[in-house]
Structure 1
Amino acid sequence: MRITFCAAAAAMALTGCGRDGDVNLLPGLGQFEVIGVEEDDMLKMRAGPGTGFVTVLGLPNGTILNVDSCQPMGNTRWCAVSLGGIKGHVSAAYLQER
């Protein structure tokens, strides 16, 4: 619990405000904003593209991520992302182009 809280606090410190826009998930497009996460929840950045991978970090709405690439896995499109020096994967459903 303490690790999750610390990770969330670190993510909040690195967030910014984004502009409205359409999601374009071509590889290496740059910065995207986390959107659509319930107010009392966080988007899970995972170690790999799928729910079977461990959670690396919890990301609140408004977090700005660098998107490197995206790939379909089952019914979900997963994007390889980074935040500072932390790398992982998130569902594209919660990303908006900045």
Structure 2
Amino acid sequence: MVNMVKTYQREISTSNHLALVSDDDMRLHLLELSKTEVGQCFDGWKISPEAKSLQSRCDFVQRQNKTRLVALTSSSKALQCRLAHELRQVMVAV
């Protein structure tokens, strides 16, 4: 079987990049981690524990941000309802 991996280095962003070390070994360099090795298998990608840990941390932060957004929206709606209720009470009193 002919190895179809081409030798190249591709910039992902200013801080992250993929570097092909050999035909079977790619390394993903991130700011958060000094080195994360990513090897290519015939059936897909094999990712190191450091990369999985980074992915789970990013997923956790994303879930946290969504939770904060929902909480902020809920508290904003509660505040609007309370203000509307107080406004009605003031209008009835006048």
Same fold (TM over 0.5): no
Larger radius of gyration: 2
| TM-score, normalised via structure 1 length | 0.24
The structure richer in strand per residue is 1
> Which one scores higher on RCO, CA 8 angstroms, separation ≥ 6?
1
Relative to the length of structure 2, the TM-score reads 0.25
